[in-house]
Structure 1
Amino acid sequence: MARTTPHDHPLTEAQPLYWRIATQLVGELRDGTIPPGERLPGERQLAEHFEVSRETVRQALEVLRRSGLVATDRRGSHATLPGPPVETPASLTFPVGARTTSPEAVDRATVTWETPPPEHAEALGLAPHRPTLVHRYESASPDGCGRRTAVTSFSAVALAEVAELARYRDRADGTGSAQLRRAYDWMRKAGLTLHHRDAITRLPGAPSVRVTRRVHDQYARPLEITDLVVDAQQDALVYEFTLPAPG
C-alpha cells in the first residue's frame, strides 16, 4: 500500500487540524525556512507559530515522523528532507579574537574547572561559587606587540548539550594546551542555533579595547561569555559576524 504524506493532498476544511498543521510545516521545511538537518523549534514555539495547541503540534509531528519527513532523538526533532547541508560559518572561530596560527604568532590556550568571574556567573545563570569550564587564550607577536587575552566561561547548558566540551572537565587542570577552535562547530552539531552579541568598548587610560561576546541558543539559553582584551596600539581589531541559522 502506498504511504500518503501531508504534501500529497491539498488543504481542505474536512481534514483534521493536526493534518493541516503538518502540511503547513512541510511547506516551511521545503521552502528552506527550516533547513535540512536543523533542529525544529520546540512544541511550545510551534504551537505559538501556528496558533494551535501543543497537542495539535504533537499530532502533526507524529504524522511527519511516520512519513519519514521528521526524525526525533533525545535532542529534539529535525527535518530529514533531502537538500544541501547547512553551511558551517567559516568566520566563527573560537574564541572571539583568536588569530590564525602562524610561525610568527605565539599563542597559548588552557582550560580549568573553577569558579568563573562574578559577571560571567551572572550572565550564565550560575549559582555563586559554582565552578564551570573556563577557557583562557593568550596571543602576541614575538616582540610582544598586539597582545590579546580572552577568558571564556561556559554555561551548564553548553556542557550538558555539547559532549566535546563536557569531555574537557576531567583534564581541565590549566596545564595542557586546549585549543577549542571548533567549539562553535560542536555547538551547531549538537543542534544549537547560535546567536552572538558582541559589545566593543575602549578601556579608559590604556591603548586597549575590550570585546565582550555573549552567545545563546534558539531557546534564549546562555551558552558562553567571553571577555577579550586587545592591545589596539599596534594591532587592528577586525570585527566579523555571521547571521544565526533560522531556528
Structure 2
Amino acid sequence: MARTTPHDPPQTDGRPRYWQVASLLLDELRDGTIPPGERLPGERHLARHFGVSRETVRQALEVLRRTGLVATDRRGSHATLDGRPVEEPVSLTFPVGARPADPCAVDRATVTWEAPSPEHAEALGLAPHRPTLVHRYQSATPDGRSLRTAVTSFSAVALAEVAELGRYRDRADGATPAQLRRAYDWMRKAGLTLHHRDAITQVGDAPSVRVTRRVHDQYARPLEITDLLVNAERDALVYEFTLPAAG
C-alpha cells in the first residue's frame, strides 16, 4: 500500500516553508503561548497546528536548535528563551502543609520503597502491591498540640521522568532523613507542567482536617498523591497564590 505524506502549502514570501514555521513557532515562544522551559508539543501536533508536514516541523526545530532557542534531550524539545519558569506564579510547597522553617517545630521526613495504600495505588495507576517511593513527613510543636503528618506516594512516571526523585530508591530505608522540599521544582525542571487539586475534609468529630493533594502533568499523567492530617485545634492551613497581571 502506498504511503502518502501531507504536502506543505505553497510558499508566500520567498522563504523556505520551514523558515516560515520556525518564525511562527518563535513568535509563540516569545509571546508565552509555549512558556519558557516547558516541553514543546510533539511533531505531529505541530504539523497539524501549522498545516505542514512533520518533515517541515523537524527542519524548523533544527533551525531553532542551531540558534540556541530550542534544546532537545531525551524528554523532548523545550524552549530556552529567558523568562519565567513554568508555574512560577503559583507557590507550591512539598509536601502540602509543610511548615516554613520554624525553630520551635520538630520536623522529620523519610522515604521508603514499599507498596502504597490501595487508595494511593489506584490514584497513581499502580498495580496492587507494586512498590514505589513513599515519603513520610511529620511536624510537631514542643507542646505536641500542633501536629501534622503527611504521606506521599509517587507514580512510576514521576520516578522515571524526574532524576532527582529516582535516585532516592536506593536509599529509601525509612530511617535516613529525606527532605524533598524541592520536589516540585525538580518536576518543573524535568519539563512537567504541574496541575494540582487539593481536597479538604473534616475528620469525624475530631478537631482535625485531612487534605488530599493530587498532582498530574500536562498529559494528565498522575505524578503524586499526598494525604495530610492536621490537628486543627490551634493550627491553621495557609494557602498562598500569586496571579500575574494581565498583559
The two structures have a TM-score, normalised by structure 2, of 0.84
Secondary structure of the equivalent of 1:176?
Answer: strand
- Render the CA deviation track for 1:67-121: whole Å, top value 9, x for unaligned: 433221112112233x245275683221000002322101111110000011111
Percent identity over the alignment is 81
- Render the CA deviation track for 1:151-182: whole Å, top value 9, x for unaligned: 00001111111111111111111112111111
Query: What is the CA-CA distance between 1:191 and the residue it aligns to?
Result: 1.6
Residue of structure 2 in register with 1:86 after alignment = 85
* RMSD, aligned α-carbons: 2.3
CA 215–45 in structure 1, closer or farther in 2 if over 3 Å, else same: farther
CA 161–13 in structure 1, closer or farther in 2 if over 3 Å, else same: same
CA 46–202 in structure 1, closer or farther in 2 if over 3 Å, else same: farther
Unpaired runs of at least 5, structure 2: 1-10
Secondary structure of the equivalent of 2:142?
Answer: coil
1:41-80 matches, within 5 Å, as 41-50=41-50, 54-80=54-80
- Give the Cα separation in 1 of the matches to 2:52 and 2:202: 48
Letter of the aligned partner of 1:227 in structure 2? D
- Give the Cα separation in 2 of the matches to 1:207 and 1:111: 28
Residue of structure 1 in register with 2:108 after alignment = 108
Secondary structure of the equivalent of 1:25?
Answer: helix
Query: What is the CA-CA distance between 1:196 and the residue it aligns to?
Result: 1.2
In the comparison of the two structures, how many residue pairs are matched?
Answer: 232
Instruction: Indicate the larger mover: 57-66 or 107-116.
Output: 57-66
Letter of the aligned partner of 2:68 in structure 1? G
Q: Is the Cα–Cα contact under 8 Å of residues 89 and 241 in structure 2 kept in the other structure?
A: no
Unpaired runs of at least 5, structure 1: 1-10
CA 75–242 in structure 1, closer or farther in 2 if over 3 Å, else same: farther
Residue of structure 2 in register with 1:23 after alignment = 23
The two structures have a TM-score, normalised by structure 1, of 0.84
Secondary structure of the equivalent of 2:168?
Answer: helix
Query: What is the CA-CA distance between 1:56 and the residue it aligns to?
Result: 4.3
Secondary structure of the equivalent of 2:28?
Answer: helix
Q: Is the Cα–Cα contact under 8 Å of residues 92 and 242 in structure 1 kept in the other structure?
A: no
